[in-house]
Amino acid sequence: MLQSIRNASQHWLGKIVLSILFFFLIAGVAIFGVEEFFRGGSSQTVATVGKTPISAEAVRSAYQNQLQRYQQQLKRVLTPEQARAMGLERQVLSQLITEAALDQKTSDLGLAISDEAVLRAIRDEQAFKGADGKFDRTLFFQTLQRAGLNEQMFVREQRSVAARLQLAEAVTAELAVPQAMREAVHRYSTERRTASVLMLTPAAAGEIPAPGDDELKAYYDNNKGGFRAPETRSLNLLVLDPETMAKPDAITDDEARKIYEANAAKYGAPERRTIQQITFPDQATAEIAAKQIESGEVPFEVTATARGMDPKNLTLGTLTKAELFDPAVADAAFALEKDKISQPVKGRFGTVLLRVTAIDPGSQKPFDEVKDEIRKTIALQRARDGLEPAHDAIEDARASGKSLADIAKERGLTLVAVPAVDAKGNDPAGAKVEGIPDPDTTLAAAFRSEIGGDSEALRTKSGGYVWYDVAKIDAAHDKPLDAVRDEALKGWKEAETAKRLTAKSKELVEKLDKGETVEAVAEAAGIPAKTVADLARNQPKDDLANDVIERIFATAVDKAGSAPSGDGRAVYKVTKAEMPAYVVGAQTDKTVEKNFRTALSDDVLGEYIADVQKNAGVSVNQAAFKRALGGEY
């Protein structure tokens, strides 16, 4: 890169362009500072859909939630590499863009959900109702806690979801499913067939003598593609990776302590309280109950029982103050002493009395416990910050004619020498070659290059770089017959067996179509026959694979046919086809209509969302996206 700048500066037009470039460079440093300028700025907006921004915090939160859901489903922890391989980062961003597009459209259309509507929807939700069929605030909090949500997050999301649902329902309302489509589905899914089947195994082909040299040579010549050695290349790879560049031992205790003190909350846990509550219909009733409890006249649990609540289910959970959506309840609960009863608190879901049964004062990990982790984090960040200068220095060294081996030795970097590898990542023996960084990307680029080619550095998934040189190319070539004789013999025998079985099955099919009975044909061929009934599409049965069943359904009744079956063939005659009558409005018809309406709705809504995104305009800040999930300080 620096060499290209030097070359450009020799021309008058290049001097003008470089002058403008360096003006903006200096201005950027003056405005943002050196570190932030070279890190691409500190924008917290990852994407913008129309006027709706998607923040880095929203991306991080959605990513963590989705990761936890996957881990709960898989019942194992996913590494960042595994999550990346699943495309989790892109899934999350795509979902957030879709939600933002719908939010933008609901805003443009003036759709809004009132506080009363949100609270009413929460109260009407069956999952939050107790045995008496009424909204149970305790059950509400317990359900949210199990889901890893706090009240603020839940209410905010429900407001957006309700608006999106209103829009989606308006777009997909009253979609009709054509009767012809429903009838076709009925025929396809309900038809059942019966067939008589004869199975031809490889033994039915008889004894197959070994081929002569000329015969084997002819088979080899006709199938050379199956005995062809792929092109292989010898590669040298120079790897610049933040993980290997990081030097945690170079970070002093003073540097680590500054980060520790600046991020104290990250290394501690906030105070948590176990909170119980009883809900009352009004302030007066709550005040009477509070006086009775304080005087010892009526215990807290007895008061709950009188209110129709189960004393075992009074606990909202063990929560931080931030996890309590209702500010009045949060303030009262965290001002109480342990085992004391609050005064009546008028909250969003009614008037309540609170009791705190346990207090976890929180904790702070000592510096010595986390200093190694902090050192690693600082070192990794510095390595990332030094990545581009190192990249430019290596580019300058390459421009001066130095080999990757010399550069690696000078800078103490890893040089991966690959003696021979094909485009799929295998060595000449067919074994996987290990140690190639991002093999899909690296090998694709290396196999587009030539020996001595001036290749660009590749960016790795970990944020580093890989330079590659092609040292040698062994072109794809046909392996000689002597080198693959055993493989050729095996292939010839399999082909000859299949040929004989195909001829024999054709002979049997002709006999069946001429009117001979299945039993007579089977007896003459020395093959047992069997009847297979109640065959359905896409449902293998007995030893009949799905491919055979599909051929049976493609054959007319009273006609015969054959199909490959494993290493043999199946000969069959269709003897019966049954299908219940199609009745418009029957329960099965309604089910088909419902399922297809859902599919049609999904298609229509997908097209609508794509159009909304196109009209609103979507921009993604890739650098901010990477930072949002990079765990940087």
- Please report, to the nearest 10 degrees, the dihedral formed by the alpha carbons of residues 148, 150, 153, 159 taken in order: 110
Residue 492 confidence (pLDDT): 94
Contacts of 269 (CB under 8 A, 6+ apart): 360, 362, 363
Q: Count Cβ atoms below 10 Å from residue 552 Cβ, excluding itself.
A: 23
Strands in 293-413 per DSSP E: 315-320, 345-347, 350-360, 363-364
Strand-pair partners of 324? none
> Do the Cβ atoms of 618 and 46 come closer than 8 Å?
no
Question: What's the pLDDT at 25?
Answer: 35
Residues of the chain with pLDDT under 70: 1-43, 75-77, 146-149, 630-633
Determine the Cα–Cα distance for residues 229 and 480; give it in Å rounded to an integer: 10
CA 141 – CA 324 distance, rounded (Å): 9
Rounded CA-CA distance 522/199 in Å is 10
CA distance 548 to 565: 7
Furthest-apart CA atoms within the chain: distance in Å: 109
Residue 540, CB-side half-sphere exposure with 13 Å CA sphere: 7
- Tokens at 253, concatenated: 């205790």
Q: For residues 468 and 454, give the distance between their C-alpha atoms in angstroms, rounded to a whole number.
A: 9
Integer Cα distance of 209 and 492 in angstroms: 11
Long-range contacts of 40-43, Cβ-Cβ distance < 8 Å, separation of 24 or more = 40/623, 40/624, 40/627, 41/623, 43/621, 43/624
pLDDT tens figures, 265-314: 778 788 899 999 998 888 999 999 999 988 888 899 888 888 888 888 78
Give the SS3 label for residue 618. strand
**Cβ pair 358, 274 in contact under 8 A:** yes
Query: Facing residues of 432 across strands?
Result: 426
Cα–Cα dist 169/488, whole Å: 62
The CA-based dihedral angle spanning residues 512, 518, 520, 526, taken in that order and rounded to the nearest 10 degrees: 100
* Alpha carbon distance, N-terminus to C-terminus of the chain: 29
Q: Determine which helix (DSSP H) or strand (DSSP E) holds 162, and give its type and residue range.
A: helix 151-172
